[in-house]
Amino acid sequence: AGSSAGLTEEQKEFQKVALDFASKEMAPHMAEWDEKEIFPVETMRKAAQLGFGGIYVKPDVGGSGLSRLDTSIIFEALSTGCTSTTAYMSIHNMCVWMIDTFGNEEQRRRFCPSLCSMEKFASYCLTEPGSGSDAASLLTSAQRKGDTYVLNGSKAFISGGGDTDIYVVMCRTGGPGPKGISCLVLEKGTPGLSFGKKEKKVGWNSQPTRAVIFEDCVVPVGNRLGTEGQGFSIAMKGLNGGRINIASCSLGAAHASVLLAQEHLTVRKQFGEPLANNQYLQFRLAEMATRLVAARLMVRNAARALQDGREDAAVLCSMAKLFATDECFAVCNQALQMHGGYGYLKDYAVQQFVRDIRVHQILEGTNEVMRMIVARNLLQG
């Protein structure tokens, strides 16, 4: 079922550029990046030359100025070539958007151009060892001293941590709860900024993950995004888009897995005929394609709502993230099953899609938190 149905000519063009890039520059290296844990910096810079380093960032600081729907289409397409690398790019894009949207003119001009070109890379620092789902209870503290903040604490599971240049950090400048949180932008090389060991992960191996540690880091007040106490709101607004982005990466993985399953069913013979003649497997394939299309429509619907600033946008983003990441994982997992024993071999790409998208059900707000957000919205009437 066509992923380009209902798109404008311009959107079909972005999609084609992204699909071509995925098949030529990413797919041939996907297994190697995974196995050798390579962070493909040069490939991402090539993607940035196509405008994929700041997709929904304003053009005056080097962004592409595209819509949330355009962004979703691009990440879905790129993810068919390597889900892990695309997922990191989606986080990078979210960080640049946060600086572009909530930064002042000086901050925008200082940080955004080199991030949009991916000369520099960004990491989003919200989660801590003791606060994942309960992000508002974070403990990293920033104490005001004259025209600086002194930052202490640590962040966990930070994508790109240690290899990236810019850290968008949520920290406590005031009292407990969400109202006491501010957002600071830190540069690599700041004294007192250090990193934990590189984590060994099930998937997402083409991007490093480390703890980020702050020991008396001195950060200029001029590096604060927005006002004091606005940090949690900035973090959550960033995540609305981030949730659509990560759901879009799941769509690409599921799309690629359906194609792999389709091909395997045609080629593989059992009991004297191709698997494609088996009605049970035909029906499973039909279900997989149907679930993918349903998930895609939900994600694109949420992207439009966010773009239009509709008041139900946050809840639609949460629904789309919950539905698409769950359904697409099931689709990839079913595709693996259809490969039989071959599906469990690293020579076959389907197992990597399964490993890479498993974490999409956890990060950018676990799917349990998505259910909380949706339920709260429904019960508030």
Catalytic residues, by residue number, are 364
Rg of the chain taking only CA atoms, in angstroms: 21
> Which residue bears the tokens 């910096």?
41
183 three-class SS: strand
**Is residue 159 within 8 Å of 124, Cβ to Cβ?**
yes
- Please state the φ and ψ torsions of residue 263, each to the nearest 5 degrees: -65, -45
299 three-class SS: helix
Q: How far apart are CA 31 and CA 35, in angstroms?
A: 6
Parallel, antiparallel or unpaired: strands 148-159 and 166-172: unpaired
- Please state the φ and ψ torsions of residue 122, each to the nearest 5 degrees: -120, 155
**Is residue 163 within 8 Å of 201, Cβ to Cβ?**
no
Q: How far apart are CA 124 and CA 113, in angstroms?
A: 18
DSSP string, 321-343: HHHHHHHHHHHHHHHHHHTGGGG
Q: How far apart are CA 246 and CA 73, in angstroms?
A: 12
Q: How far apart are CA 256 and CA 270, in angstroms?
A: 24
348 three-class SS: coil
Question: What separation, in Å, do the N-terminal and C-terminal C-alpha atoms of the chain show?
Answer: 37
Q: How far apart are CA 196 and CA 76, in angstroms?
A: 31
